[in-house]
Structures are given as structure tokens and as C-alpha cells.
Amino acid sequence: MRNRLLSAALVVALLATLTQFGFGGPAYATPPGIPTAAAARTQLAALTVAASTHTTTYDRDLFPTWDTISGTCNTRETVLKRDGTSVVVNSACAATSGRWYSPYDGATWTAASDVDIDHMVPLKNAWISGAWAWTTTKRESFANDLSDPQLFAVTDNVNQSKSDQSPDSWKPPLSSYYCTYARAWVRVKYVWALTVTSTEKSALTSMLGTC
């Protein structure tokens, strides 16, 4: 009996660990660089807390998208291939079939037209938290960042609902994704040395508390 209880406890611990690191549930690809909850808390503590600035001067054209990444594939098409399963593309690299699981809301799609590529930290949020001072070249790198957890394939209307909002005013429909979402958001802000507002930091702290 004791051995069975120990085995059950080990299974529970393993499932908890897998959930913390983004595993478990439906299988789907995730962007690189999502930190552990502990690392995210450390990175959040290191961010500069400041009020938003240049709130009326944002222009999306200052963040060129989508770059050509390889052959005929641009950033959007690259993320669709990365985050989807059984993705088939034509000679122009447009996805003609595949399957995409949207981690924000748990929906699954089989048409690429139903999927948007979300900027974890929206371009306008980046602008008002420091990117206004960047060169256009740096803003282009940010908008097409495939090295960090910045680009996610998600349900189009969920992405549109999020718009340019930060976690203090918008969270994913699935509360079970709060932990991963906060870890990714913090990582992007940390890597790109962007600021956070006090309410944004409070919301992220609360979301990391679900990990």
C-alpha cells in the first residue's frame, strides 16, 4: 500500500512539473525561451517600473512586419509551421492545410485563416514602454523575434480581443494558461529591457502565483 501511495505521489508531482513547464494537455509547439516560474519572478523583479510614455505617438509602420525568414517564408508563415501540426504549404509558403491549437483559449483550427500571430508584448505596448527610443531596425527585430517567446499562433478573434492590452487589462480566456503567459510576457520585457507599469507588475505577480 505504501509503495502504491508513493507511486501515486510521484505521478502527481511529475504532472505538476510538466504543467509548470508548458507540457500536459493538448500537444502544441511553443515559442523558445519561456523561463521557469522562478526565473520569471527574478526577471520581473529586475524590470524598471515606470509610467507609460509617448502614448499618442505610436505608429505601427515603425515596426516592419513580416520579414522574409527563409526562401519564400515570412515570419507569420514560419510561426504557423512551427506552432502547427501536419502543416502543408504551397510554393509561396502559404499554409494550405494543418492543425493549430490556440493555447490562449483551447480552440483547435484547421484553416490558417482562423489563426493570427500574436505579439506577446504588443507593438504599441512596447512603444509606450521604451521602444519609442529605438531605431526602426531594432523595432523590426522585435516585431519579428523568433528567438524569444514573443510570437504565438492563436485564434484570430482572441488576438483581436487582446489588441494592445497588457496583463492588467487583458488575460487569456484560459486561466490555466496564466502561468505560461506571464512567464513569456516577463521574458520578452526582460530581454528587450522594456519597462512595466505598477499595475502591470501587480497583475504579472498574481499570474505567476498560479504556477
Residue-wise pLDDT for 133-157, tens only, equals 999 999 999 999 999 999 999 999 9
Q: Checking phi first, is residue 22 left (phi over 0); if not, alpha (psi -120 to 50) or beta? A: left
Angle at 193 between CA 147 and CA 78, to 5 degrees: 20
Q: What is the pTM of this model?
A: 0.86
Residue 27's pLDDT is 55
pLDDT digits 0-9 by tens, 65-80:
999 999 999 999 999 9
| Calpha distance 53→65 (Å, rounded) | 23
Beta bridge partner(s), residue 54? none
Query: Which class for 67: exposed (0-12), middle (13-18), buried (19 or more C-beta within 10 A)?
Result: middle
- Residue 194 above 50 pLDDT? yes
Q: What percent of the chain has pLDDT over 90?
A: 86
Question: pLDDT tens digits for 20-39?
Answer: 333 344 556 789 999 999 99
Please give the full DSSP string across 118-156, using - where no structure is assigned. Answer: EESS-HHHHHHTTGGGS-HHHHHHHHT--SSTTEEEEEH
DSSP line for 43-84: HHHHSPB-----TT---GGGS--PPEEETTEEHHHHHHHHHS
Grid cell for residue 67: 520579414
Between 99 and 13, name the one with better pLDDT. 99
Strands 115-119 and 151-155: antiparallel
pLDDT interval class at 5 (50, 70, 90): very low
Q: 191: closest CA among 44, 60, 54, 69? A: 44
Cα 85 to Cα 108: distance, rounded to the nearest angstrom: 11
